[in-house]
Amino acid sequence: MKRLQTAVGGPAASRRSAIRPFVAMDVLAAANRREATGARVVHMEVGQPSAPTPRAVIEAARDALAAGRFGYTEALGIPALRERVARHYHEAYGVRVDPRRVAITTGSSAAFNLALLAAFDAGDRVLVTAPGYPAYRNILGALDLAPVEVELSASAPVLTPERLREIHAAHDLSGVLIASPANPTGTMLTPTGLAALVAAAEELGIRYISDEIYHRLVYDGVAATAAGMSPHAIVVNSFSKYYCMTGWRIGWMVLPEDLVRPVERIAQNLYICPPDISQQAAIAAFDATEELDAVRDGYAASRALLLRRLPELGFTDLYPVDGAFYVYASLGGLGDDAEVFAARMLAEAGVAATPGIDFDPVAGSGSIRFSFAGSPADMAEAVQRMEAWLK
């Protein structure tokens, strides 16, 4: 098929690039522009910890810098970090993982690209939830895969095996991608619920991809890993969230044996390897638990504040916030267009939040996500600003 022409006569961008923007990042850009004018903005739009990277990680990076040389590593990561990640699964979950099944990636974003490219062919259908992380849907589209979205609600906030079977019968799924705790809701599957979902996927012969990047940020319940439930599950995690290392761009996967070499081949060609210095520094992150748990305690205080105050301000239908650092709520009587509401709140109250249309293009226009990854003081200020603005 002939490529379309642009208005100035040159070749147009590819059709696969015609995906929705990541609205949270657009809101961040708008907030940054406002701050550039000297205005004060409280950031609740992106899931970026305001806490600094742990001291042990910084020291490890300084030691690496002092050594003076960084180069290419193996595409799947340096052995020391792969082994440390594998040991983490035994320490945290009692699950033994062969380090050879661990792939270090350039953040979880690269992990999703690698997993989807290795596991599926063009046209394959992959189930994702709505509301859900928008990059799932957008990456699937860019890779010529077909996202099949299932609507959740505050009263039915997780996917069940029964719904998975129904959707598979209707759409002939090749895979399912589920985050627990979830973005944008913070809702988490119970260990029993996760095990049942993984078992159902195996019974149906479809790939299960488990996004576990918010593990260790849990306030209610227990986070279980799909790595302990099936050797066929693909498990994605990251140093960005609990470990406060967003800008280091470092994550990992636990892969089924049959996907290790395919992922390695794709990584060699797409990325060559993850950043060497980030890999060396990340090893120390696992020993910074005391410092990082103190950060999590701050999130817990902010969570308690928002769960109490947001309903008092008029927000309704809050999803269960079991983990992560998000509250997803309906605007209730405050309005029916979250994009307009969020833009006004930024301009008039100096509070940045992400409209629900980013997470649910069908039913998200009346919902909004608040990130409480900032400091407790910032979150308290945001509530005060919203209260004054909504009066």
For the stretch 146-203, pLDDT in tens is 999 999 999 999 999 999 999 999 999 999 999 999 999 999 999 999 999 999 999 9
Q: What is the pLDDT of residues 241-277, one digit of tens each?
A: 999 999 999 999 999 999 999 999 999 999 999 999 9
Check whether 4 has a pLDDT greater than 90. Answer: no
| d(C-alpha 365, C-alpha 156), whole Å | 19
**Beta strands at 234-238 and 251-254: parallel, antiparallel or unpaired:** antiparallel
Q: What is the pLDDT of residues 97-109, one digit of tens each?
A: 999 999 999 999 9
Predicted pLDDT at 391: 86
Angle between helices 191-204 and 161-171 (to 10 degrees): 30
Supply the DSSP symbol for 2: P
Predicted pLDDT at 16: 80
| d(C-alpha 308, C-alpha 256), whole Å | 42
Q: What is the DSSP string of 315-341?
A: -B-PPP--BTTEEEEE-GGG-S-HHHH
From the list 112, 76, 65, the residue with the least C-alpha distance to 273 is 76
**Beta strands at 351-352 and 326-330: parallel, antiparallel or unpaired:** unpaired
Name the more confident of 37 and 7: 37
Q: Is 179 helix (H, G, I), strand (E, B) or coil?
A: strand
Predicted pLDDT at 1: 44
Q: What is the 3-state secondary structure (H, E, C) of 226-289?
A: HHHCCCCCEEEEECCCCCCCHHHCCEEEECCHHHHHHHHHHHHHHCCCCCHHHHHHHHHHHHCH
Check whether 3 has a pLDDT greater than 60. Answer: no
Supply the DSSP symbol for 48: -
Tell me the average pLDDT across 205-223: 97
Tell me the average pLDDT across 123-143: 96
**Beta strands at 351-352 and 234-238: parallel, antiparallel or unpaired:** unpaired
Q: What is the pLDDT of residues 374-385, one digit of tens each?
A: 999 999 999 999
Rounded to a whole number of angstroms, the CA Rg of the chain reads: 21
pLDDT-derived band at 23 (thresholds 50, 70, 90) equals confident
| d(C-alpha 336, C-alpha 328), whole Å | 15
Check whether 14 has a pLDDT greater than 90. Answer: no
Distance of CA 5 to the CA centre of its chain: 36
Q: Residue 3, CB half-sphere, CA atoms under 13 Å: how many?
A: 12
Single-letter code of the amino acid located at 53: T
Alpha helices in 78-160 (DSSP H): 79-93, 107-119, 134-142
Tell me the average pLDDT across 314-328: 98
Least confident of 18-22, 204-208, 305-309: 18-22
From the list 250, 243, 225, the residue with the least C-alpha distance to 235 is 225
Tell me the average pLDDT across 209-213: 98
Distance in Å from the first CA to the final CA of the chain: 56
Q: What is the pLDDT of residues 329-368, one digit of tens each?
A: 999 999 999 999 999 999 999 999 999 999 999 999 999 9
Residues 346 and 28: beta-carbon distance below 8 Å: no
Q: What is the mean pLDDT of the chain?
A: 95
Tell me the average pLDDT across 25-50: 95
pLDDT-derived band at 9 (thresholds 50, 70, 90) equals low
What domains appear along the chain, each with residue ranges and CATH number? 15-52+290-390 (3.40.640.10), 68-287 (3.40.640.10)
Least confident of 21-25, 78-82, 144-148, 247-251: 21-25
